[in-house]
Amino acid sequence: MDLNRFKKRGYVKRPTYIEPLKNLTKLMDKNISLYVKRDDMLESGGNKTRKLDYLIADAIEKGCDTLITCGAVQSNHCRITLAWANLEKLDCHLLIEERVKGSYSENASGNNFLFHLMGAKSIQMHPGKSDMMALMEKKAEELKKQGKKPYIVPGGGSNGIGALGYSSCALEIMEQLSKESLDIDTIVVPSGSSGTHAGMAVALKALNSKIKLVGINVSRPTDVQKDVVFKVAQEHIEVLGLDKDILKKDDLICLDNYVGEGYSLKTDGMKDAVELFAREESILLDPVYTGKVADGFLDLVKNDYFKDGSNVLFLHTGGSIALFEYLKYFKD
């Protein structure tokens, strides 16, 4: 799998660290060693940087001067897209979907505060379940009439090109493991808009890796989520020019037992996991994504999901800025 032929901007300057979670490993008291990959430490803070590395290269190659993207009220993706747009001197317009009714507040902190601080060209609010792609296309038409050349970055940066960020991450991990003589049996990843999950799934197949990949859903039931991941994976396979049958839908693992009532809504397991990572490892997670994924990760260890003696890696995708908008989740 050669990714060098794909243009990127070079936002990922060095591999993110893989570190042992020593205190949590001890605390869990199983014959399982826990590791974390610190993609939260990527510049601009999270997994969207890897996808945007390729997506913004595509935008610039196409001569675009403006980015349009969408996300939830506390979207890390919108904030990170805006951050890179500023550095690249591109305009950035954000369309926000209020997935939880009544959750938008113009004065909210976290990512919402940063949309304003970092100077998004426009911020449009839309109710939950709006057709965000259609709305972004409408916005693009308006901007074209003003003489702009807009580029639409899909929600979460998840399409066949964005997924390059995570097939390249899988390659990065393989190189690190061989350099550090570390064997990893399972990688646990978030499964949301799914560029992360799909990119890793395709790459591990293409590399013939024995590593098992476990996706933890952050919003959807398993069946629906598998369709979402599989669609992005197929687009990605096409971009890579690989054999269509390299990945089957049934190869995908999407666990929905840690979502709770829905996207961004509090679960007790999330709260415990965020607290444990903060207290044991001084690693900050977030309530919407990594807190729920970490809940799953630790619960699977507890329930002997991983085989005895195995090494498991948690992919930390970022999000801690959103933590500060969800103080209420931690106060009781």
Ligand X SMILES: *Cc1c(COP(=O)(O)O)cnc(C)c1O
Which positions touch ligand X (CB under 6 A)? 46-47, 76-77, 156, 158, 190-197, 286, 289-290, 317-319
Closer Cβ to ligand X, 310 or 324, answer by number: 324
Query: How many residues in the chain?
Result: 332
Query: How far is residue 77's CA from residue 164's CA, in Å, rounded to a whole number?
Result: 16
- Closest contact distance (angstroms) between CB of 332 and ligand X is 24
Between strands 254-255 and 212-217, the pairing is parallel
**Which is catalytic among the residues 33, 44, 75, 158?**
75
Closer Cβ to ligand X, 143 or 198, answer by number: 198
- Closest contact distance (angstroms) between CB of 183 and ligand X is 25
Active site residue 75: yes
Closer Cβ to ligand X, 110 or 195, answer by number: 195
SS3 30: coil
Closer Cβ to ligand X, 150 or 154, answer by number: 154
How far, in whole angstroms, is CA 268 from its chain's centroid? 22
Between strands 18-20 and 33-38, the pairing is antiparallel
- Closest contact distance (angstroms) between CB of 308 and ligand X is 29
Q: Tell the residue number behind the tokens 């939950």, with chain if given.
A: 128
Residue nearest to ligand X (CB): 319
- Closest contact distance (angstroms) between CB of 46 and ligand X is 5
- Closest contact distance (angstroms) between CB of 131 and ligand X is 18
As to burial, measured by CB atoms within 10 angstroms (0-12 exposed, 13-18 middle, 19+ buried), residue 304 is exposed
Q: What is the largest CA-CA distance in the chain?
A: 62
Contact criterion met (CB below 8 Å) for 285 and 274: yes
Q: How would you classify residue 216: left for phi > 0, otherwise alpha for psi between -120 and 50, otherwise beta?
A: beta
Reference 230, options 163, 168, 290; nearest CA is 163
Closer Cβ to ligand X, 57 or 216, answer by number: 216
Could you give the strand order of the β-sheet that contains 186-191, starting from the edge strand earlier in sequence? 18-20, 33-38, 311-316, 186-191, 212-217, 254-255
Residues marked active site are found at 75
